[in-house]
Amino acid sequence: MKAKLFTPVASQNPLYMGCADEILFEEILREHGRSTAAEIKEDGYRMQVHKQGGRIRAYTRSMKPFLLELYPELHPSLNALPDCILDTELIGDDKIGHEGFDIVKKRFRHRIGSKGAQDYLDSGIVDEMPLAARVFDTLYWEGKSMIDMPLSERRKITSEILEDKLTPSTQRIITEPEELRQWFDELTGANYEGLVCKNSQSAYLPGKQTKDWVKLKRSETLDLVVLGVYMVNGEISQILCGPYNPQTHKFETLAKVNAKRNAFNKELYPALRHHLDVQCPESIAVSQAIYTKPDTKPDYFVAPENSVVVEVAAMNFNYSKNWHSCGLKEGKSYSLRIAWLKSIRDDKKPADASITS
């Protein structure tokens, strides 16, 4: 496959293999040939930049156009680039963790009219909440597709991109599990989300999740699709959510989560209100146990293709007898222990949700 300018490339996404521990650190190094390119995992929105001459376009993870006119602080840095396709993360300038993510979320717009765009720019939000972009991969550079080249070769280009608002991700080549653990602990202690460990010899694999890219995070964090809602006094109180199983082509229930935290239910209801159904869609796999207790079956189901992706964190996974359908076998399935809703990922679509492996 060759990367082509102004044809968005499906994003390669890191694989989540479980909670960061010594066993996982060792497995990553083994999979990557005893040397891994570990880089800081930025907390923002994926942005793929395409530039040719004076023409610049950007695309979201869902391969939809980014409204670059809303981010004038990026323009000088983008204009300085040669012809290229860059895989970047839009982040809060000088902000890390969820503080930075919240800034990106407040700045992001799916669509906006010309008057709305002008009002947005006149509001002072650009100065109050400045953004930057972190480059972590180069897919095309000065007339040459680089997708099939090893990451180590692509990184040589990426590391030379040093513009005011466009800089390379921080990366270290690590060969020992203890070194990986130390850096991970240092970063998470400083409120970074974690690391992405990459195989330096790997090509860029559009739309894939493989062990070539593995993410290490502080907590068990998943991007799940809202599959059902529980109502109290006309408001969403809790949500039923789960990942996608590519083998069965169905979404599976994994967690019932409080939606009132940080008033997330107020954001969810407008997005879901026209897609609520008392019948369970065929695209959702449910355990029959969901119907045995009054507080397990949701008041309404939501067809996954019309639903919303949410970021859910938990202490860890449980595999036991319960009423969920994720990995269901002989009455046992996966569930999340002490799960909470972290954010609504309006930059992702249901197809980008975590998968059941």
Distance of CA 336 to the CA centre of its chain: 19
In this structure, what token pair is assigned to residue 122?
Answer: 């006149």
Classify the phi-psi angles of 331: left when phi > 0, otherwise alpha if psi is within -120 to 50, otherwise beta: left
Query: How far, in Å, CA of 19 to CA of 218, rounded?
Result: 8
To the query of whether residue 41 is one of the catalytic residues in this protein, the response is yes
Count how many residues are written for the chain.
Answer: 357
Q: Of the listed 2, 4, 41, 198, which one is catalytic?
A: 41
Inter-axis angle of helices 22-31 and 177-189, to 10 degrees? 120
Neighbours of 111 (CB within 10 A): 8
Handedness of CA 290, 220, 343, 44 (dihedral sign): negative
Which residue in 240, 217, 218, 219 sits closest to 228, CA to CA?
240
Which residue in 225, 107, 233, 89 sits closest to 168, CA to CA?
89
Query: How far, in Å, CA of 228 to CA of 225, rounded?
Result: 9
Helices (H), 145-297: 151-158, 177-189, 264-272
Query: How far, in Å, CA of 329 to CA of 125, rounded?
Result: 51
* Catalytic residue IDs: 41
